[in-house]
Amino acid sequence: MVIAGRLRAQGVAPETVQTLSHTHSILALVDAGVGVALVPRSAQKLGYAGVRFSPLDEVDSFDVEVHLAWRRRGRLGVVDAVRLLIQEAYPVPVKA
């Protein structure tokens, strides 16, 4: 929970009522008035008319962990191509 840790570091302790991993489910609860959520910008395309999206200030200061998974006997050429695209789009900064 990268974001929860970041909030605690700033002295903010929101009450967690529901924990979900699927964006559709999260937005359905927000649309039903259950609460608020932090979701990726791409969630706006899912079409929940009753949900208001607001960008976060200083979004670049959030570190996010991304995982790539594939079947052991999968198409490794595709995996290598996807990994390369991700690494080019989001280079990992080198710490001195």
**CB neighbour class for 26 (10 Å; exposed up to 12, middle 13-18, buried from 19):** buried
Angle among Cα 83, 87, 90 to the nearest 5 degrees reads 135
User: How many domains is the chain partitioned into structurally?
Assistant: 1
Average pLDDT estimate for 1-21: 74
pLDDT classification of 39: cutoffs 50, 70, 90: confident
pTM of this structure: 0.54
Q: Give the pLDDT of residue 94.
A: 58
> 37 is in which domain, residue-wise?
2-89
Residue 94 covered by a domain: no
Sign of the dihedral defined by the CA atoms of residues 15, 19, 21, 26, in that order: negative
Q: Give the pLDDT of residue 21.
A: 83
**CB neighbour class for 22 (10 Å; exposed up to 12, middle 13-18, buried from 19):** exposed
Asked if 7 and 14 touch (Cβ cutoff 8 Å), the reply is yes
Q: Give the pLDDT of residue 67.
A: 67
Q: Average pLDDT over the chain, rounded to whole?
A: 77
**Amino acid identity for residue 57 in this structure:** D
Q: Give the pLDDT of residue 64.
A: 65
Residue 39 covered by a domain: yes
Q: Check pLDDT > 70 for residue 59.
A: no
The token duo for 4 is: 């929860």
Residue 96 covered by a domain: no
